Every structure is written in structure tokens, then in C-alpha cells.
């Protein structure tokens, strides 16, 4: 589900999976991603 500033992923993830939350429009299938920052869930919900 998505609201103005919040996205809730309710299924389809496993422990250790990552979610792209910025720059999504630049993501292309089978192309490498450059990870600039990794944040934990607790850092994101402060």
C-alpha cells in the first residue's frame, strides 16, 4: 500500500531482501544497481 510518504510492502519479501525506495524510475530489468545507502527498518520509521 502507498500513501503520500509511506509505502507498506505486505507480501513477497523474505528476510534479508532489499527494497529500492529512491531512484525507482531508473531501475531497469537485469541491470546492476549501485547501492548508495542502506537503512534498516528502524532507521526508516523514526
**Is 90 exceeded by the pLDDT of residue 19?**
no
The verdict on pTM exceeding 0.85 is no
What does the DSSP 8-state code read for residue 14?
-
Pair 18, 24: CB distance under 8 Å: no
Q: pLDDT for 32-43, tens place per residue? A: 988 888 888 788
Give the H/E segment covering residue 42.
helix 41-44
**How many domains in the chain?**
1
Pair 1, 10: CB distance under 8 Å: yes
Q: Which residue segment(s) compose the domain that 8 sits in?
A: 1-46
pLDDT of residue 11: 93
Amino acid at each position: 500500500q502507498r500513501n503520500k510518504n509511506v509505502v507498506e510492502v505486505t507480501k513477497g519479501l523474505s528476510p534479508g531482501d532489499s527494497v529500492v525506495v529512491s531512484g525507482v524510475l531508473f531501475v531497469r530489468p537485469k541491470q546492476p544497481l549501485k547501492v548508495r545507502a542502506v537503512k534498516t527498518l528502524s532507521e526508516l520509521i523514526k
